[in-house]
């Protein structure tokens, strides 16, 4: 069993905001991250899959296929977008790093289940000081 | 003459957009960077000053003073902000990396002229693939 | 269950030295790392916590709270300090990367047990070539 | 139980190629990675061992010893070499990142079993976007 | 006058070798870099152009255009290639970092002279420890 | 004229301290950097030389020779040392980043003047946020 990781990147606007809370409560909870005029990040997304090495090809999954799945299902929907208002699979979600990776997992797992690789881990780096990881459970 | 550089960071939303052009023209010119719902970046700002080394202190300028000037005059106004709508010194500016560094230069030069150091260079890294530099002329 | 990681940094002096051994034995064991005049490092500390995502806030733990705990309990005691002589929780410890992370774990676990997050992993990067990790057991 | 990681680097030429397939099949499978004139990479190899911290030394294994084992058994055979034609332990192997780390594991495990540390993980970074990991099973 | 830099990457095989010298002389001169079976690198190419900021667009040159020129004239010819045998503009060249950047300058200057930007600097990073820069004279 | 840069690293202890000032004055001036028990850094030293490309070798200077000069004249004296008390060429110097690079310049220029390359620039990175550069005048 070998683990293979592909990095893809996206640059997005977002804000942390719970619509059930007042503006004051949001500000108290999230500070400047709640700014109603948005802020943004360069996100680094690391998708790790696991699988047996195919003796015919020497790889777990063709990296081009893995990259293409991530781009089509995730990057094309997030890159140069507003995460709060433009992403179908993030509707009604507080777009924290934690919630984004759980949502990305669901998008990718469906597609990766059609391949010989199994989704193992999603890591999302928001800044050089902060990142989140999810293993699907 | 020694050159000293301090890095500070800010995370902001922006879009590339010329209000004199139509939406179609903006899209043709800037592509996805013109998205009216904004996108964003982790910006790395490198401010380089030059000066003689003070024999009493061994430094060109106290790094805490340099850092404080950059934070007060630039970072506090840009971090977790929308560069198009919330920044006094970027009003009526197309917020390209090029224009941002020229505007930052003007903000910092006034303050740094009160110190023994001279502003030498502004470098702004928008992504790992793109950055701009300005030397004041 | 989502994992959230915060990086904090500290710059410290230290030496590898076992007081039970002679100087010659320390030199043989640790080489230049045993220099009695000290050397030092820029340390990168990565603290990973795990927990359920709170549906009201969208996060496992508020990153400001996590950062504040790490700074108060660890960074303020280590940064710009001599790890061998100035740190209460490293007394009578050979300040190897391995021992430092076990000691940091004990300092942080007490505080993090008062939060909804559980301490999952401590990673300490001493140089670009060397790092240690600890999972609490 | 603490985990200790040492990074070593090597710069090598290789190509992805299955000799049982035709040139056309190799091209379809691997694209430009199958170029018969070779291409190459700066590889970053991260070797992680685990073990108890020795109370006499404060370390799991002396980093110099760990580094020396990796250099002698792996780096000296791979660095500035052609992975397809010059490496004894990669003969008859499709030199994908996946297969390289499984082969490196076998080379290192034998040597590390003579030390107090146990081999825990091999990570090989081929580019800033691609890496593979192996845990021995 | 603002300076704008675009990074592009290529992964190539090469060797240092002067055909006028004997194998022994090449080995003495270049060491393991002369290995006749090749080795390789992940190269990071930084292309810096300078120019006035166009008040209509806010940029010196559209980054997509700059990226496209670099890809078409340089990256497509170098990436996943053997620098010694497959590159038209490196024929009869010792493919040192120094000679590669001078050759890349000539390829890019012709194209960039058709744009509003002027080529200012080529930087080529061969490893994390070695890079070369060229300013055209 | 091509510029070639070699990076070497050293890990050292130091403090900022002017012996002509009182402890209180040093604390006011340098803050925690004046800690009498020392602190330390991982320093990244970038040495840039310039020269014509030798048509026989394709290089400005053999990188092994450049690396060897830096190691012998600088790194061996600074690495795992206390910059305030153990370095001959830093005696009676406030070991700020600024003063260290001026002192390194003098050490290296003498040796490099015996080679075909000319010393062009010294860059010393103290942390990811601070670095100094010196061009010899």
pLDDT digits over A47-83, tens only? 999 999 999 999 999 999 999 999 999 999 999 999 9
Which helix (H) or strand (E) element contains residue D5? strand D2-14
Give the F window 60-119 contacts with B, CB below 8 Å.
Answer: 93-99, 101-102
Cα–Cα distance measured from residue C95 to residue F14, given in angstroms and rounded to the nearest whole number: 18
Which chain A residues touch B12 with a CB distance below 8 Å? Answer: 39-40
Q: Which CATH architecture is the domain E2-134 placed in? A: 2-Layer Sandwich (3.30)
User: Position of tokens 């992975």?
Assistant: D83
Which pLDDT score is estimated for A77? 98
Please state, in angstroms and rounded to a whole number, the distance separating the CA atoms of residues F24 and B65: 19
Rounded Cα gap, residues A99 and F116, in angstroms: 58
- Kindly provide the ipTM of the predicted complex, given to two decimals: 0.97
Structure tokens that stand for B19 in this block:
């209000």
3-state secondary structure F62-109: CHHHHHHHHHHHHHHHHCCCECCCCCHHHCCCCCCHHHHHHHHHHHHH
Q: What is the DSSP string of A102-127?
A: HHHHHHHHHHHTTSS-EEEEEEEEEE
Residue A7's DSSP bridge partners are A46
Give the catalytic positions of B in this structure: 33, 80, 126
pLDDT tens across C46-72, in order?
999 999 999 999 999 999 999 999 999
For chain C, the structural domain boundaries read 2-134
- Rounded Cα distance, A62 and A41, in Å: 29
| Sequence-distant (≥ 6) Cβ neighbours of residue D116 within 8 angstroms | D51, D52, D54, D60, D61
Chain A residues with CB under 8 Å of B82 CB are 35, 37-39
Segment A84-91 shows an average pLDDT of 98
pLDDT of amino acid C83: 98
Residues shown for chain C: 137
**Dihedral-angle region of residue A19 (phi above 0 means left; psi in -120 to 50 means alpha; beta otherwise):** alpha
Alpha carbons E71 and F137: distance in angstroms, whole number = 39
Local confidence band at E22 (pLDDT 50, 70, 90 cut-offs): very high
Q: Are B30 and B16 in contact (CB under 8 A)?
A: yes
Tokens of C89: 């929780």
Q: How far apart are CA B103 and CA B9, in angstroms?
A: 16
Residue E74: CB atoms within 10 A of its CB come to 23
Residues F60-73: b if buried by 16+ CB within 10 A, e if exposed: bbbbeebbebbeeb
Given this model, what pLDDT does residue B133 score? Answer: 98
Q: What burial class does residue C113 get, using C-beta atoms within 10 Å of its C-beta: 0-12 exposed, 13-18 middle, 19+ buried?
A: exposed
User: Which residue matches tokens 């292309």?
Assistant: E47
Rounded to an integer, the average pLDDT of B100-105 is 98
Q: For this structure, is D126 an active site residue?
A: yes
Tokens of D19: 């000799």
Are residues F126 and F46 in contact, defined by beta-carbon separation less than 8 angstroms?
A: no
In F15-79, where do the E strands start and end?
39-51
CB–CB of B57 and F29 under 8 A? yes
Q: How confident is the model at residue C7 (pLDDT cuts 50, 70, 90)?
A: very high
**Do residue B39 and residue A13 have CB atoms under 8 angstroms apart?**
yes
Contact D17, D93 (CB under 8 A): no
Please give, rounded to a whole number of angstroms, the shortest distance from the CA of A74 to a CA of chain B. 15
**pLDDT of res. A62:** 96
**Is E33 an active-site residue?**
yes
Asked if F137 reaches chain B (Cβ–Cβ under 8 Å), the answer is yes
Our answer on whether E and A touch (3+ beta-carbon pairs < 8 Å) is no
pLDDT band at C129 (very low <50, low <70, confident <90, very high): very high
Q: Distance between CA E61 and CA C91 in Å, rounded?
A: 59
DSSP-derived letter for residue A31 is G
Instruction: Give the pLDDT score at E105.
Output: 98
Residues of F in contact with C14 (CB under 8 A): 40
Predicted local confidence at residue E127, as pLDDT = 98
What does the alpha-carbon distance between residue F49 and residue F63 come to, in Å, rounded to a whole number? 11
| Residue D2 CA to its chain's centroid (Å) | 22
Which residue, chain included where needed, has tokens 């055979």?
D77
pLDDT, tens digit, for every residue of F36-91?
999 999 999 999 999 999 999 999 999 999 999 999 999 999 999 999 999 999 99
pLDDT tens sequence across F93-129: 999 999 999 999 999 999 999 999 999 999 999 999 9
Question: Which of the four pLDDT bands, split at 50, 70 and 90, describes residue C81?
Answer: very high
Residue B124 to chain F, least CA–CA distance (Å)? 14
Chain centre to alpha carbon of residue B90: 10
Phi, psi of D30, rounded to the nearest 5 degrees: -110, -10
Helix, coil or strand: residue B117: coil
* Predicted pLDDT at A110: 96
pLDDT average, residue stretch B63-78: 98
In whole angstroms, give the CA distance from residue F47 to residue A21.
55
CA distances, C101 to each of A10, C80, C108, D55, D111 (Å):
33, 18, 10, 15, 27
For residues E115 and E51, what is the distance between their CA atoms, to the nearest angstrom? 10
CA distance A18 to C54: 12
d(C-alpha B35, C-alpha A83), whole Å:
12
Which subunits count as partners of chain C given 3+ CB pairs below 8 Å? A, D, F
Please indicate whether chains F and D are in contact, defined as at least 3 beta carbon pairs under 8 Å: no
Contact list in D for residue A64 (CB cut-off 8 A) is 31
d(CA D136, CA A134): 22
Q: How confident is the model at residue D3 (pLDDT cuts 50, 70, 90)?
A: very high
The whole-chain average pLDDT of chain D stands at 98
The catalytic site residues of A sit at 33, 80, 126
* D30-45 pLDDT tens trace: 999 999 999 999 999 9
- Give the count of beta carbons closer than 10 Å to the beta carbon of residue A120: 18
Q: Do D63 and C130 touch (CB under 8 A)?
A: yes
Residue with tokens 């990457």: E9
- Tell me the HSE value of D95 on the side-chain side, using a 13 A CA sphere: 25
Q: Which of D8, D15, D9 is nearest to D83 (CA)?
A: D15
Burial string for F13-47 (b: 16+ CB within 10 Å, else e) reads bbbbbbeebeeeebbebbeebbbebbbbbbbbbbb
Q: What is the mean pLDDT of residues C15-28?
A: 96
- The span from the first CA to the last CA of chain E, in angstroms, equals 20
Return the axis-axis angle of helices C63-70 and C97-112, rounded to nearest 10°. 130
């Amino acid at each position: 069993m070998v683990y293979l990781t592909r990095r893809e990147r996206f640059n997005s606007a977002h804000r942390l905001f719970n619509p059930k809370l007042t503006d004051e409560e949001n500000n108290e909870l999230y500070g400047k991250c709640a700014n109603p005029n948005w802020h943004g990040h360069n996100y680094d997304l690391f998708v790790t899959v696991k699988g047996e090495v195919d003796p015919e090809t020497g790889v777990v999954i063709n990296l081009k296929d893995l990259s293409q799945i991530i781009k089509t299902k995730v990057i094309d929907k997030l890159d140069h977008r507003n995460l709060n208002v433009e992403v179908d699979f993030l509707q009604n979600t507080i777009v924290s790093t934690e919630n984004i990776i759980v949502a990305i997992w669901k998008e990718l797992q469906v597609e990766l289940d059609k391949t010989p690789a199994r989704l193992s881990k999603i890591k999302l780096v928001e800044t050089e000081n902060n990142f989140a990881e999810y293993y699907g459970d």
